[in-house]
């Protein structure tokens, strides 16, 4: 057997979910580029180290991406695998998004301790989730929660809080459909608008390498996430902001404190070439810029 034409190093976080997503990316590129070899390099980010930090108070921009981006910039890795919702709106000079893996289902899932009907306490570190859940559970008290998916599930089962919220995509990628001591209830996209990029796995690389990786990634997911990220870039927000945009099928859903929930139907063909125009137009129309 001949040696592979080239070895590519994949930068990723060490968490079980990050590794599951990275294995999906590795498998996709191995199928698309059979003459190449792909090696995974696991890294620890600031967000992983600082489990005691409040993402809302410290600010979440770059906490889960900077170390991976540094590895790309200094040549220790060829591309990085990120949860798209973790990527800041601004990217370091020299780096670009090559594209995305096919998107999973975008919904959030309410995780409730067994025996609890209506949760009186809900643990979430996301302002986006907290404020939208207040519409569903106006009497509930909210606390923060950190940790990997299994850690959060176990915390709710032990009674740290009555409920929490996790992304359906993460549960699906980890193969988790049930957990002892808790019950799952999928929230609709209208009940809780997902974060920008939620359920999408982003492939980031050096700008000059985009043509190498982009042809093997999912165009439909790219259209949706680029539209969502256009809103984030225009508003300059991060994961600590109570703002959400999701484009699924032809429905664009927006949540912001200034306007509540809004929905627009936009043909994909139009969206694909008008990201910035759509984002800036709706932000102006809904008066979100200075809200």
Nearest partner of 119 among 38, 48, 51, 185, judged by Cα: 185
Residue with tokens 């601004």: 90
| Pairwise CA distance, residues 65 & 238, whole Å | 13
Closest-CA residue to 242 (of 233, 229, 232, 252): 232
Q: Which of 86, 108, 150, 162 is catalytic?
A: 86
5 is a catalytic site residue: no
The sign of the dihedral angle between the CA atoms of 107, 108, 113, 119 is negative
Q: Where are the alpha helices (DSSP H) in 33-148?
A: 46-49, 55-58, 66-73, 127-136
Using a 10 angstrom Cβ sphere, with 0-12 exposed, 13-18 middle and 19 or more buried, the burial of residue 265 is exposed
Side-chain-side CA neighbours of residue 24 (13 Å) = 25
How far is 278 from 196, CA to CA, in rounded Å?
15
Q: Parallel, antiparallel, or unpaired for β 163-167 and 182-186?
A: unpaired
- Residue carrying structure tokens 């984002």: 279
Q: CB neighbours of 201 closer than 8 A, spacing ≥ 6?
A: 21, 24, 25, 81, 82, 83, 84, 100, 101
Closest alpha carbon to 184 in 164, 160, 154? 164
Residues assigned a catalytic role: 86
């Amino acid at each position: 057997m001949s040696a592979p034409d080239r070895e590519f190093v994949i930068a990723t976080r060490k968490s079980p979910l990050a590794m599951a997503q990275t294995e999906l990316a590795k498998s996709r590129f191995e199928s698309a580029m059979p003459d190449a070899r792909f090696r995974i390099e696991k890294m620890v980010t600031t967000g992983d180290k600082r489990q005691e930090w409040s993402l809302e108070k410290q600010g979440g921009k770059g906490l889960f991406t900077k170390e991976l981006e540094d590895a790309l910039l200094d040549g220790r890795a060829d591309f990085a695998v990120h949860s798209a919702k973790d990527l800041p709106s601004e990217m370091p000079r020299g780096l670009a998004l090559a594209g995305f893996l096919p998107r999973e289902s975008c919904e959030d899932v309410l995780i409730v301790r067994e025996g609890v009907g209506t949760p009186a306490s809900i643990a979430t570190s996301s302002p986006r989730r907290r404020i939208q859940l207040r519409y569903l559970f106006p009497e509930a008290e909210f606390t923060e929660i950190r940790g990997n998916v299994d850690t959060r599930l176990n915390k709710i089962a032990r009674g740290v809080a009555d409920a929490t919220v996790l992304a359906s995509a993460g549960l699906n990628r980890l193969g988790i459909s049930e957990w002892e001591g808790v019950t799952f209830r999928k929230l609709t996209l209208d009940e809780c608008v997902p974060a920008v990029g939620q359920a999408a796995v982003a492939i980031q690389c050096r700008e000059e390498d985009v043509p190498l990786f982009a042809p093997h990634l999912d165009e439909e997911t790219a259209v949706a996430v680029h539209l969502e990220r256009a809103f984030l870039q225009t508003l300059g927000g991060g994961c600590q902001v109570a703002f959400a945009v999701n484009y699924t099928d032809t429905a664009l859903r927006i949540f912001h404190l200034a306007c509540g929930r809004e929905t627009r139907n936009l043909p994909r063909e139009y969206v694909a070439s008008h990201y910035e125009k759509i984002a800036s137009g709706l932000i102006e129309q809904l008066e979100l810029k200075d809200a």
